[in-house]
Structure 1
């Protein structure tokens, strides 16, 4: 009851891009964060893990980093190397990622935004595996989320709505007053299909099509403020 009452007191304020004055306010019962690219800047680690795996297997993954970052490891291996043993290749990729995770750092503004949400009203929803997700979050200085949904917890990853629906069910919440923060089209699609209000994060303007899926798109996490009345 206490969680539900506090959830009703939440709001999300977003500064509309290209306007210093306009402010959009949306009711907010909880916040679900994507991890890679929203909370943790893991782009270098992902590039290194992919390069190592490519050397081991001879699979050409040039230009595939964005796809890898927005898919589960299983889906990615099935896409680029259907002829190889999926379980074995996923294990090799994840072991490499976990080794590299100790050098993780937060996306600018992410820790401040994450801390604005009460711990029992936030979740992290990622296509990554649990061991890598935990290692990256802790290395980057984020408190462990009360709810963490990873590829280990679902049968179908993003863009399927299952990951976000699983988070909703885990917290006994209903959309659309739950806000998701996503930086990929696949992630935003997953959240929208689950009924969430989606804020797209596109710092360099390179996520073409994100604005067609997300309800709002911002270039800086500093444009978002979460507030709960006590």
Structure 2
């Protein structure tokens, strides 16, 4: 991906992008998978970047969706042990100033707010949560909504993701995507326009017009 490049807005996934809650999330979902007697490893391979309700519906159609969702929701609200920020994200967010940016996450609002507060990260001005769209990632709905709320064309946006389903969602919406290799291998993230290890790889330079220059840190 050729950088530096200028974008009208930046859109960030949450888990694996801003924060890493993998230890607690996988602990909770492994426990749930065992309880409902499904293939836990298959569940782990396909749950990242997808709304919880969609995962439940796919893997446990024999269970009551709302009951299982509420059970998992309560566990994720109370078990935050091991949740940390992704290396370098505080520095990058501090560079944004008045740049238009949003969070686009598959998590419900209450979980997203709880995790970000736990990590002491402020919410961006615009948020898109799992319950805000009819179709979750990998459908383009979440990122299309984010661009609309920001008042920018999707083609002028840069999205940051960590999971194949999230990459597909942003690409289907027409956005450029940089992936972080935090929860998946580089090979699994090949659909992204570029892959980085953490936020130290980039820098953001806001412009007087509200747009942002994104460059490699070494550039």
- What is the TM-score normalised by the length of structure 2? 0.87
**Pair 1:137-2:116 in alignment:** yes
SS in 2 for 1:123: strand
Conserved 8 A contact 1:102-1:135: no
Relative to 1, partners in 2 of residues 1:222 and 1:66: Cα closer, same or farther, differing over 3 Å?
farther
Q: Partners in 2 of 1:130 and 1:50 — Cα distance?
A: 19
**How is 1:69-108 mapped onto 2 (pairs within 5 angstroms)?**
69-101=48-80, 104-108=83-87
1:217 to 195, 208, 213: 195
The reply to whether residue 151 of structure 1 matches residue 133 of structure 2 is no
Verify: 1:33 aligned to 2:12, yes or no: yes
Match of 1:227 in 2: 205
Structure 2: how far apart are the matches of 1:42 and 1:191? Answer: 21
Distance change (3 Å), C-alpha of 1:205 and 1:55: closer
Runs of at least 5 residues in structure 2 that lack an aligned partner in the other structure: 209-219
Higher RCO (Cα < 8 Å, 6 or more apart)? 2
Is the Cα–Cα contact under 8 Å of residues 54 and 60 in structure 1 kept in the other structure? Answer: yes
Deviations 1:51-86 (A, max 9, x none): 332354333423533422221111111111111111
Contact 1:125 1:167 (C-alpha < 8 Å) held by counterparts:
yes
Shift of 1:189: 0.8
- RMSD of aligned alpha carbons: 2.0
Over residues 35-56 of structure 1, what are the superposed CA-to-partner deviations in whole Å (9 max), with x where a residue is unaligned? 0101111001112211332354
TM-score by length of 1: 0.83
- The one of 36, 50, 53 equivalent to 2:29 is 50
Equivalence for 1:182: 161
CA distance in 2, matches of 1:57, 1:75: 16
Contact 1:184 1:207 in 2 (8 A): no
Residue 128 of structure 1 aligns to a residue whose secondary structure is coil
Q: For residue 98 of structure 1, report the CA deviation from its aligned partner.
A: 0.9
- After superposition, the Cα gap between the structure-2 partners of 1:60 and 1:209, relative to the gap in structure 1 and judged at 3 Å, is closer
How many residues matched?
208
Kept in 1: contact 2:143–2:170 (CA 8 A)? yes
What is the rounded CA distance, in whole Å, between the counterparts of 2:82 and 2:188 in structure 1? Answer: 31
